[in-house]
């Protein structure tokens, strides 16, 4: 499965304490579960090989 262009958001340390669903992923990882979480508005947190957060992504909300 090809990873789409993701909407990167600022990596704020407070992001982990805010209400919502956070999903961690390895750098470059992509699969159906990550796609479903991203589409549902979850925050994806990319971690390095040591488990440290490096980037965060969340799909942009489109007001309808």
In a domain, 36, yes or no: yes
In a domain, 24, yes or no: yes
pLDDT digits (tens, 9 = 90+) for 10-30: 988 777 777 889 999 999 999
Strand ranges, E, within the chain: 8-9, 22-26, 43-47, 53-57
In a domain, 50, yes or no: yes
**Alpha helix segments (H runs only) across 1-64:** 32-39
Name the pTM for this structure.
Answer: 0.86
Phi, psi of 42 (to 5 degrees): -70, 155
Q: Which residues pair with 23 in a beta bridge?
A: 44
Q: Which domain holds residue 28?
A: 20-54
In a domain, 41, yes or no: yes
In a domain, 12, yes or no: no
In a domain, 38, yes or no: yes
Q: How far apart are CA 12 and CA 19, in angstroms?
A: 14
**Residue 30 has what pLDDT?**
97
In a domain, 62, yes or no: no
């Amino acid at each position: 499965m090809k990873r789409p262009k993701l909407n990167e958001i600022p990596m704020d340390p407070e992001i982990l304490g805010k209400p919502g669903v956070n999903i961690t992923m390895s750098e470059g990882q992509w699969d159906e579960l990550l796609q479903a979480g991203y589409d549902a508005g979850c925050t994806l947190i990319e971690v390095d090989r040591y488990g440290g957060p490096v980037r965060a992504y969340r799909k942009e909300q489109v007001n309808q």
